[in-house]
A and B are shown apart, each in its own frame.
Chain A
Amino acid sequence: MAEIEIDGQHYSIRTGDNLLKTCLEQRLDLPYFCWHPALGSVGACRQCAVIQYQNAEDQRGRLVMACMTPVAEGMRFSLQDPQAQGFRAGIIELLMSNHPHDCPVCEEGGECHLQDMTEMTGHTFRQYRGRKRTHRNQNLGPFINHEMNRCIACYRCVRYYQDYCGGHDLQVFAAHHHVYFGRHEDGALENEFSGNLVEVCPTGVFTDKTFSRHYTRKWDLQSAPSICPHCAIGCNISPGERYGTLRRIANRYHGEINGYFLCDRGRFGYEFVNSDRRIHRSLLRNQPPLGMKGVVNLFSNLLKKSDGIIGIASPRASLEANFALRELVGAEHFHLGFSGSEQVQIAAILDILRQGPVRVASLREVEQADAIFMLGEDVANTAPRLALSLRQAIRNEAFAIADRLKIPRWQDAAVRTCAQSQGSPLFIASFAATRLDDVATDTYRGGPEELARLGYAVARHLNPAAQETMELNPEFDELAARIASALKSAERPLIVSGTGCQSPSVTRAAGQVACVLADLRGKPSAVHFVLPECNSLGLAMMGGHSLAEAFLAVERGEAKTVIVLENDLYRRAAKPRVKNFLEQAGHVVVIDHLLHETAQQAELVLAATTFAESEGTWVSSEGRAQRYFAVFPPTDEIQDSWRWLGKAGGKSWRSIEEVTKDCAERLPAFRAITWAAPEAGFRINGQKIPRQPHRYSGRTAMLAQAHTHEPKQPADEQSPLAYSMEGALAGRPPALNPSVWAPGWNSSQAVNQFQAEIGGHLNGGDPGMRLIEPSAENPSELATGMSDAIQNLAPIMNRQAWRLRLVPLYHVFGSEELSMLSPALAERTPNPYLALHPEDASALDLKEGDTVGIKLAGQQWRLPVLILPNLTRGLAGIPAGLPEMAWVEQGPVFWDLGG
């Protein structure tokens, strides 16, 4: 801590930061552009100028850039000095000299950092009379609009895209005041984090194209604190709605998870909520609609009449909905609804997390790792936001170099100059190339068996006692030794794996590395296991039978009625199996929000809410229980799943809070979930928190085409939030804050005003409750006791040329069910293919585009060949999770070409 003086006031501050960050943390308004909390300082825009005095006597001082000035004990500054103010106004004036002033038609208007900063400096009168320079815009693909004339050349976009995300196709071109930020030719921005440009750009150059199609000003959006439903990372989001349509997703800062950034799947995948495949009314096979009451009666009667009711739960439904199903059917009839291999893998992961000496690293902790071993998981495609954090972790070596040279870590350009391409060790073992390979120390490509063997070999190098000897080829062994030594000598090593390679052996091998490492270091190892869906871990923690057992129960005639909760079983098991199951069951009731193939075969389909119209709790891959809130009330016959289930089961639940509490009481694993967010009765000075901004406009006229009077705002008895613009403005706990705004701060940068330390934790703590912490059990037992399946791992060299091992390949756009219904995302999705290594292809006399037949999941497929030079030889890759082509295999499958 240090004492400094700003404009005659004394402040107690942390040393080592730059002055700009310090000022903003003291809630002093100081304008800036090129600085960004996640990107550091480069001193380009010259907007944050202040006066620094040399000592107590100095009266004149000199102009310095606050973002480039480290603060230390005794320093004196002035923000208010007329020279500093004049300079800042001058900078804005220059930035605005070419700006088109098109705020009325600019989609950034109302949440524009440039507007805010212009206001802040007081620049109102324009002296420049020259012509403005103009640019031609580019088509940057389905996600992002481009309007270059608005550019103020702060360079944030390219720094974010290249330096932070590792993107290569967004650049700055030309020089002087002709600098142009774009691609070298029209085309979709390739990087899967391009969407953040919308928030990174301080003006309206890059805006959300999906939002444009149903644009609404920020102040007219109704929002709620929510969680991204598109993977297991659990990024916090702020979805915005108007007129019953979900309009867009904005980032909601979380200090331990997503920080400032989302992935494009999360940002642009929301449109399933507006999809024409949404179910608005209950559907009865061969029957006219019954109306709400009728349907509830029908459902209850059906349940009363039947014996042998089983429930199939959902990894994408809330804990509460799953719990309600479990209550209804009983634990013994409760099936988890994972695919076969997922079920085994997730169980293994849960085992490691619960019993092992491991601790799941949050993304913030991932970013601090100084040696990483990534085994078998293509993180960039299965948990993209985690990949972005892994990329940042690589910079720890750069920070170490900078520390040695006494260069502050926030001196972004300086740190990069010193460190060049040196990075912390990252080892990636995968089927094919990954989008983190560019920063990897070493990569290894193999099939599931080799990957598992590599894992076990690393474990053996960490602790030879952990593993009986196994034959390894020397090259492989040498790599394992290097990985082991990097992990051993690191201060914060991290193991990353997951369900992606669909091989329990790989998962276990990763678990063993973590356990042995913990044993060696005498403290829990940091791990992150990637799981497929937003509540995969929560559902696994609830526990239940497998889907296969549900199939058996019906086949054996033990079960007659099946309730399928928010789950398309065709994505979970082979088509013939599912078809058979649904046909054999006497009654099939599906509760879901989308009309999928399973729903189409049901006798009764009950319309459920999506995450946007409901409240609930999910458990992320970090083991963090997080609450999401309804953005807008459901319409028509749409109801929360737990309500359908509760009513039919005769439960007296009136609000979700009661379900959450019941769940927490009944299932010890979930004891802490009630604290994931403040309870429904939470008030600030007696007031609820409004979902609408206080400038929300046109409320009285919103339905004027249909009604003559102003409709009453829907009440929300369930939560501390209100469907209203009235209520508490300040003091909102982070878990309940729908969006950020502070006086003078209308853009997403307002979040700086809500953090205890900028870029750190939110004031009041980052929301959510971690449910799993390292166990106190003796690590050595686990470290040695998991060597099970090693003998079964046939090395690839034993494989026959005519027998290729089929493996799933993931796609950030395409492998996830819900996001695929967003038209923009669908545009970026690959077509089905069968990927082959060029040598395998030529051995089989196949070339790109040839059609081949394969049998997968009990079905015949005809697929075009895709030559993938970076795929392991001996593997044949199939895109995972494409609609109708979900990967459902359990255990090794081969593409057999006869032999």
Chain B
Amino acid sequence: MERPLTQNIKSDGSTTLLPDYLKTGGYQGLRKAIREYTPAEIQQWVKDSGLRGRGGAGFPTGMKWSFVPMNMPQTKYLVVNGDEMEPGTFKDRWLMEGDPHQLIEGAVIAAYAIQAGTAYVFLRGEYHLAAERMRAAIAEAYENHYLGENILGSDFSLELHLHSSAGRYICGEETALLNSLEGKRATPRSKPPFPQVAGLWGKPTIVNNVETLCNIPHIIHHGVEWYRCLGLTDAGTKIYGVSGRVRRPGAWELPLGTTAREIIAEQAGGMKEGYRLRGFLPGGASTDFLLPEHLDVPMDYASVGKAGSRLGTGTMIILDDKTCPVRMVLNLERFFAQESCGWCTPCRDGLPWVAKLLEDLVKGRGRQEDLAILERMCSFLGPGNTFCALAPGAMEPLQSALKHFRADFENYLPEPIHG
């Protein structure tokens, strides 16, 4: 089984330096792209490859690039979204720490495809090790003309800067990220204008997830056909991860469309001794719970959707039978309430109330009508009702928990007083 994204990543946690990266075909994709193909052709390759965004929303990458107005000579930007703060998600850290050049190469090709002259890696502030390794790799890349003026002797130039953030989940949302990168408060922006047209400092900007970009060198190097065949259902491989009470929590690169069962049972070694699987969040904190009955669902965009959840970041959080789903949801909602940027009303004032209701519930202070309020909130904070996707994401685990684990919620309610 081919694992292009993680082929260089060592199990001892060390990083891949340039010589090692080159050994496995590193920067061949870039060389090919820049020497042999026009930006439009690269865009087409990526479109044809079927690559979809790995940041959570799953938007087709090539299509996103094609929205950049290419006919006007103006500054354009590429931004690498390395904010990774979705609870339960730990894949981008792994990629950046383990093989930083892969990301750099992906970024340079992407920048070439949209003719961006400057790129930023927006890195979450807590990733100190990733920052150190990215910084070293960027320096290496500059020295070896993979970055800077006239890359590999071509007339394409790119400045790439590492921008280290200071912690806020909302910074991962691409328009909030742009505000943050401009040194402002990270509140999301209205769309339109879409970042592809007016993003960073009002200029056309593409924001892509770390993992998404790590795919690019391989697509160019090995071709579209090869890439499409990597996946079982959708194209390519995916970094899947599992955390919670399993024997071997971790992350693995597997063909897209691998079933949840294989990931949990095979890769993660199954549940820990004494624990049974009750459910799982398939792609990070802001996805709906799936149940053991969904174990055979292929983990791809459409199938997970059909099962009632989202592939999200592809990193699962396991709910075991000794963990209370209500408390787990409380933990998640506290997170979302605290990470709301404070811009729109439903999110800013709705999430703390949700957290409060859950807290009351587990403390035995719940009331019968509270469950109805929680249910109402799920649709109230639903897609389209809030300014960005944070709050709707926050409602996904709650709404599915209310559906699948209703009795757990009701058990917390005090006995109704009769008489």
**Interface set of A (CB-CB < 8 Å, partner B):** 42-47, 49, 62-64, 68, 87, 90-91, 94-95, 97-98, 127-130, 152-153, 155, 172, 174-179, 405, 407, 411, 413-414, 417-420
Q: Which residues of B contact A155 (CB under 8 A)?
A: 343
Which residue of the partner chain, among B185, B202, B337, B349, contacts A419 with CB atoms under 8 Å? B202
Q: Given that A63-B384, A130-B356 are known contacts, is A175 also in contact with B190, CB under 8 Å in the complex?
A: no
Q: Assess whether A417 is in contact with B193, with CB atoms less than 8 Å apart.
A: yes
Q: Assess whether B373 is in contact with A47, with CB atoms less than 8 Å apart.
A: no
Bound Cα distance A546, B376 (Å): 76
Q: Which residues of A contact B340 (CB under 8 A)?
A: 175-177
Q: Given that A43-B387, A46-B387, A63-B384 are known contacts, is A179 also in contact with B342, CB under 8 Å in the complex?
A: yes
> Is B341 engaged at the interface, CB distance under 8 Å to the other chain?
yes
Q: Which residues of B contact A174 (CB under 8 A)?
A: 342
Q: Assess whether B356 is in contact with A417, with CB atoms less than 8 Å apart.
A: no
Q: Assess whether A176 is in contact with B345, with CB atoms less than 8 Å apart.
A: no
Bound Cα distance A47, B340 (Å): 18
Bound Cα distance A174, B384 (Å): 25
Question: Of residues 338 to 363 in B, which have CB atoms within 8 Å of A's CB atoms?
Answer: 338-346, 348-353, 356, 360
The residue on A at minimum CB distance from B168 is A175
Q: Assess whether A90 is in contact with B376, with CB atoms less than 8 Å apart.
A: yes
Which residue of the partner chain, among B201, B342, B387, contacts A176 with CB atoms under 8 Å? B342
Q: Which residues of A contact B190 (CB under 8 A)?
A: 42-43, 68, 411, 413-414, 417
Q: Assess whether A405 is in contact with B193, with CB atoms less than 8 Å apart.
A: yes
**A647 smallest CB distance to B (angstroms):** 62
Binary interface encoding of chain B residues 187-203 relative to chain A, with 1 for a CB under 8 A from any of its CBs, else 0: 00111110001100110
**A170 smallest CB distance to B (angstroms):** 14
**A269 smallest CB distance to B (angstroms):** 35
Q: Assess whether A127 is in contact with B373, with CB atoms less than 8 Å apart.
A: yes
Which residue of the partner chain, among B201, B337, B384, B387, contacts A62 with CB atoms under 8 Å? B384
Bound Cα distance A97, B353 (Å): 9
- Would you give 20 A-B contacts (Cβ < 8 Å), ordered by A? A43-B387, A63-B385, A90-B346, A91-B345, A94-B349, A152-B345, A153-B342, A172-B185, A174-B342, A175-B185, A176-B351, A177-B337, A177-B352, A179-B348, A405-B192, A405-B198, A414-B189, A414-B191, A414-B192, A414-B193
Q: Assess whether B345 is in contact with A95, with CB atoms less than 8 Å apart.
A: yes
> Is B386 engaged at the interface, CB distance under 8 Å to the other chain?
yes
Q: Which residues of A contact B201 (CB under 8 A)?
A: 420
A46, A172, A178, A411, most chain B CB atoms within 10 A: A46
Bound Cα distance A176, B360 (Å): 21
> Is B156 engaged at the interface, CB distance under 8 Å to the other chain?
no
**A385 smallest CB distance to B (angstroms):** 29
Supplied contacts A176-B339, A176-B342, A179-B348, 5 more A-B pairs, CB within 8 Å? A90-B376, A95-B345, A130-B356, A417-B202, A418-B202
Q: Assess whether A47 is in contact with B202, with CB atoms less than 8 Å apart.
A: no
The residue on B at minimum CB distance from A98 is B349
> Is B412 engaged at the interface, CB distance under 8 Å to the other chain?
no
Bound Cα distance A418, B376 (Å): 37
Q: Assess whether B349 is in contact with A95, with CB atoms less than 8 Å apart.
A: yes
A94, A127, A405, A418, most chain B CB atoms within 10 A: A94
**Interface set of B (CB-CB < 8 Å, partner A):** 168, 170, 185, 189-193, 197-198, 201-202, 337-346, 348-353, 356, 360, 369, 373, 376, 380, 384-387
Bound Cα distance A418, B373 (Å): 40
**A777 smallest CB distance to B (angstroms):** 46
Bound Cα distance A361, B193 (Å): 34
Q: Which residues of B contact A417 (CB under 8 A)?
A: 189-190, 193, 198, 202
Bound Cα distance A516, B373 (Å): 70
The residue on A at minimum CB distance from B386 is A46
Which residue of the partner chain, among A44, A63, A87, A411, contacts B343 with CB atoms under 8 Å? A44
Bound Cα distance A45, B347 (Å): 10
Which residue of the partner chain, among A91, A95, A127, A178, contacts B342 with CB atoms under 8 Å? A178
Bound Cα distance A420, B201 (Å): 6
Q: Assess whether B344 is in contact with A46, with CB atoms less than 8 Å apart.
A: yes
**B341 smallest CB distance to A (angstroms):** 6
The residue on A at minimum CB distance from B175 is A417
Bound Cα distance A323, B233 (Å): 91
Which residue of the partner chain, among A42, A94, A128, A418, contacts B345 with CB atoms under 8 Å? A94
The residue on B at minimum CB distance from A414 is B190
Q: Which residues of B contact A91 (CB under 8 A)?
A: 345-346
Q: Which residues of A contact B353 (CB under 8 A)?
A: 94, 97, 128, 130
The residue on A at minimum CB distance from B349 is A94
Bound Cα distance A98, B351 (Å): 13
The residue on B at minimum CB distance from A41 is B190
**B361 smallest CB distance to A (angstroms):** 12
B341, B369, B385, most chain A CB atoms within 10 A: B385
**B170 smallest CB distance to A (angstroms):** 8
Q: Assess whether A176 is in contact with B337, with CB atoms less than 8 Å apart.
A: yes
Bound Cα distance A461, B352 (Å): 63
Q: Assess whether B337 is in contact with A44, with CB atoms less than 8 Å apart.
A: no
Which residue of the partner chain, among B189, B198, B344, B380, contacts A45 with CB atoms under 8 Å? B344
Bound Cα distance A43, B185 (Å): 17
**B382 smallest CB distance to A (angstroms):** 9
B197, B345, B346, most chain A CB atoms within 10 A: B345
Bound Cα distance A152, B345 (Å): 8
Bound Cα distance A834, B373 (Å): 66
Q: Assess whether A87 is in contact with B349, with CB atoms less than 8 Å apart.
A: no
The residue on A at minimum CB distance from B346 is A46
Q: Which residues of B contact A44 (CB under 8 A)?
A: 343-345, 387
Bound Cα distance A263, B339 (Å): 38
Bound Cα distance A129, B197 (Å): 45
Q: Which residues of A contact B385 (CB under 8 A)?
A: 46, 49, 63, 87
Q: Which residues of A contact B387 (CB under 8 A)?
A: 43-44, 46
Bound Cα distance A676, B295 (Å): 80
Bound Cα distance A47, B346 (Å): 10
Bound Cα distance A656, B126 (Å): 75
The residue on B at minimum CB distance from A176 is B340
Q: Which residues of A contact B337 (CB under 8 A)?
A: 176-177
The residue on A at minimum CB distance from B199 is A417
Bound Cα distance A64, B384 (Å): 7
The residue on A at minimum CB distance from B178 is A417
Bound Cα distance A337, B314 (Å): 81
State the 9 A-B residue pairs at the shortest beta-carbon distance, nearest first: A94-B349, A179-B342, A420-B202, A176-B340, A130-B356, A418-B198, A413-B190, A414-B190, A175-B342
Q: Assess whether B193 is in contact with A177, with CB atoms less than 8 Å apart.
A: no
Q: Assess whether B380 is in contact with A90, with CB atoms less than 8 Å apart.
A: yes
The residue on B at minimum CB distance from A155 is B343
Q: Assess whether A175 is in contact with B341, with CB atoms less than 8 Å apart.
A: yes
Bound Cα distance A413, B345 (Å): 17
Q: Which residues of B contact A129 (CB under 8 A)?
A: 360
Bound Cα distance A42, B189 (Å): 9
**A148 smallest CB distance to B (angstroms):** 14
Q: Given that A87-B385, A130-B353, A418-B202 are known contacts, is A407 also in contact with B380, CB under 8 Å in the complex?
A: no
Q: Assess whether A87 is in contact with B344, with CB atoms less than 8 Å apart.
A: no
Q: Which residues of A contact B185 (CB under 8 A)?
A: 172, 175
**B370 smallest CB distance to A (angstroms):** 9
Bound Cα distance A64, B383 (Å): 11
Bound Cα distance A427, B399 (Å): 58
Bound Cα distance A49, B387 (Å): 12
Q: Which residues of B contact A90 (CB under 8 A)?
A: 346, 376, 380
Q: Assess whether A46 is in contact with B349, with CB atoms less than 8 Å apart.
A: no
Bound Cα distance A95, B352 (Å): 12
Q: Which residues of A contact B344 (CB under 8 A)?
A: 43-46
Bound Cα distance A756, B291 (Å): 59
Bound Cα distance A330, B330 (Å): 86
**A425 smallest CB distance to B (angstroms):** 19
Bound Cα distance A747, B351 (Å): 30
Bound Cα distance A877, B373 (Å): 66
Bound Cα distance A44, B185 (Å): 15
Bound Cα distance A129, B191 (Å): 36
Q: Which residues of A contact B346 (CB under 8 A)?
A: 46, 90-91, 94
The residue on A at minimum CB distance from B336 is A176
Bound Cα distance A417, B193 (Å): 8
